[in-house]
């Protein structure tokens, strides 16, 4: 849920482009029952990112540049969204085949009846964290009583804050909150607030420190928040039924890209840097640091890259329901599919 002011200036143009190019052809079937004389035809897949291209997406661009998608008979188009709700909305409307999104966001959407199926976990642990200036006396969530926390007005941020303060023996009602939009770094660096939520340890933290504002990170998972999947890949039930073979092939290629990123991160970043545009330029030193942060958090251990543990989904659903973020618990079996066991 990662959108700053510069996204809003670009939103209408991007939305127009996505909608105009996003409508799927009615004749676009899956490759599962393709006649032999058409077996060499490529299958088009449209993928919507969660944010502008950055270090976390390097494996995708490596897979595309090295021809791994082409090896699987795929023509993959990667697009940026115009705003935070676009990825899930376009997938649910079958105007995109796959989208990068966030586990809590998909659970909230599913609880409201928006169709979506997670097919892979990309970042397996939270990036969002409570941050305070290193010179501030706040050491734990209970210390937030009587102080002000700034965050973008997103339901999960409020739930994270309440859970952390309660778990530390504090009273959430004694914490002042301020909607700072996506001016997270400015709010903290100018001491407009005492702490922030909504900033990522692989982005805002690094930028703050680069600009002379050292921060202390307090991890939500240490204070009662489930160890949720920060970034996931989502499709719609209809698209999965129609294009499961192509989506599985997409993820096989993506896994090859990820393996290459792990083996040669600098080479992968050079591929990423070639994706920059005049609208969204990357700070290369920040992306290098970001990838160092991300790679351990993307590692699935003994399981293949992208594997999803159903128990993680159950914990997140239970937590969101307990905190009143969702009224209805979606069915886990309808929400999660592991393409590669």
pLDDT band at 341 (very low <50, low <70, confident <90, very high): low
Give the residue among 74, 75, 76, 96 at the shortest CA–CA distance from 15: 96
Q: Average pLDDT for residues 211-231, to the nearest whole number?
A: 98
- pLDDT score of 39: 45
User: Interior CA angle at 101 toward 131 and 301, to 5°?
Assistant: 80
Contacts of 127 (CB under 8 A, 6+ apart): 200, 201, 202, 203, 230, 231, 297
Residues of the chain with CATH 3.40.190.10: 5-19+42-125+229-335, 128-223
Whether residue 187 has pLDDT greater than 70: yes
Average pLDDT value for the chain? 89
Confidence (pLDDT) at 38: 39
With pLDDT > 90 as the criterion, what percentage of the chain qualifies?
82
**The whole model's pTM is what?**
0.88
Please tell me the predicted confidence (pLDDT) of residue 195: 98
Structure-model confidence comparison of residues 285 and 37, the more confident one: 285
Q: What is the pLDDT of residue 4?
A: 42
Pseudo-torsion of CA 115, 119, 125, 129, nearest 10°?
A: -30
Average pLDDT over residues 123-139: 97
* Mean pLDDT value across residues 302-324: 97
Phi (first) and psi of residue 282, to 5 degrees: -100, 140
pLDDT tens-place string over residues 56-76: 999 999 999 999 999 999 999
pLDDT surpasses 50 at 18: no
pLDDT band at 2 (very low <50, low <70, confident <90, very high): low
pLDDT for 307 equals 97
Superfamily of domain 128-223: Periplasmic binding protein-like II (3.40.190.10)
8: pLDDT confidence band, cut at 50, 70 and 90?
Answer: very low
pLDDT over 50 (residue 22) = no
- Fold assignment, 5-19+42-125+229-335: D-Maltodextrin-Binding Protein; domain 2 (3.40.190)
Q: What span, in angstroms and rounded, lies between the C-alpha atoms of 250 and 235? A: 12
Given a contact cutoff of 8 angstroms between Cβ atoms, the answer to whether 197 and 169 are in contact is: no
Range from 16-25, 77-86, 201-210, 282-291 carrying the lowest mean pLDDT = 16-25
Is the Cβ–Cβ distance between 118 and 146 less than 8 Å? no
Q: What φ, ψ does residue 30 adopt, rounded to 5°? A: -80, 170
Is the pLDDT assigned to residue 235 strictly greater than 50? yes
Provide the 3-class DSSP secondary structure of residue 276. coil
pLDDT in tens, 264-305: 999 999 999 998 877 779 999 999 999 999 999 999 999 999
pLDDT at 279: 74
- List Cβ neighbours of 227 (8 Å cut-off, separation of 6 or more): 125, 126, 221, 312, 315
Integer Cα distance of 319 and 306 in angstroms: 23
∠ Cα 69 41 31 (to 5°): 75
Structure tokens at 266: 């600098």
| pLDDT given for residue 63 in this prediction | 98
Question: CA angle at residue 255 from 272 to 122, to 5 degrees?
Answer: 75
Task: Quote the tokens at residue 80.
Answer: 């940026």
């Amino acid at each position: 849920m990662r959108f700053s002011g510069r996204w809003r200036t670009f939103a209408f143009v991007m939305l127009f482009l996505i909608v105009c190019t996003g409508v799927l052809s009615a004749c676009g079937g899956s490759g599962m029952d393709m006649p032999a004389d058409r077996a060499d035809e490529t299958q088009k897949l449209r993928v919507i990112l969660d944010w502008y291209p950055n270090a976390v997406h390097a494996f995708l661009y490596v897979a595309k540049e090295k021809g791994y998608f082409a090896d699987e008979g795929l023509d993959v188009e990667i697009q940026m969204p115009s705003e935070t709700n676009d990825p899930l909305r376009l997938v649910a409307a079958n105007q995109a085949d796959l989208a990068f999104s966030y586990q809590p966001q998909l659970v909230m959407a599913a609880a409201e009846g928006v169709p979506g199926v997670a097919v892979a976990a990309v970042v397996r642990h939270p990036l969002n964290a409570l941050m305070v200036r290193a010179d501030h006396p706040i050491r734990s969530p209970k210390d937030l009583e009587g102080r002000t926390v700034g965050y973008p007005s997103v339901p999960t941020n409020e739930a994270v804050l309440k859970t952390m303060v309660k778990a530390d023996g504090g009273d959430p009602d004694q914490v002042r909150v301020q909607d700072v939009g996506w001016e997270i770094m400015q709010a903290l660096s100018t001491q407009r607030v005492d702490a922030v939520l909504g900033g990522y340890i692989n982005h805002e933290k690094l930028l703050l420190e680069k600009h002379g504002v050292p921060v202390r990170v307090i991890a939500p998972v240490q204070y009662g928040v489930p160890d949720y999947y920060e970034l996931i890949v989502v499709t719609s039930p209809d698209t999965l039924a129609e294009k499961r073979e192509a989506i599985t092939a997409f993820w096989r290629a993506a896994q090859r890209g990820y393996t290459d990123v792990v083996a040669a991160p600098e080479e992968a970043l050079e591929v990423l840097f070639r994706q920059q545009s005049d609208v969204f330029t990357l700070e290369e030193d920040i992306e290098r640091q970001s990838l160092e942060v991300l790679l351990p958090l993307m590692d699935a251990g003994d399981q293949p890259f992208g594997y999803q543990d159903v128990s993680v989904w159950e914990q997140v659903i239970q937590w969101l329901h307990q905190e009143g973020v969702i009224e209805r618990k979606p069915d886990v079996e309808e929400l999660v599919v592991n393409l590669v066991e």
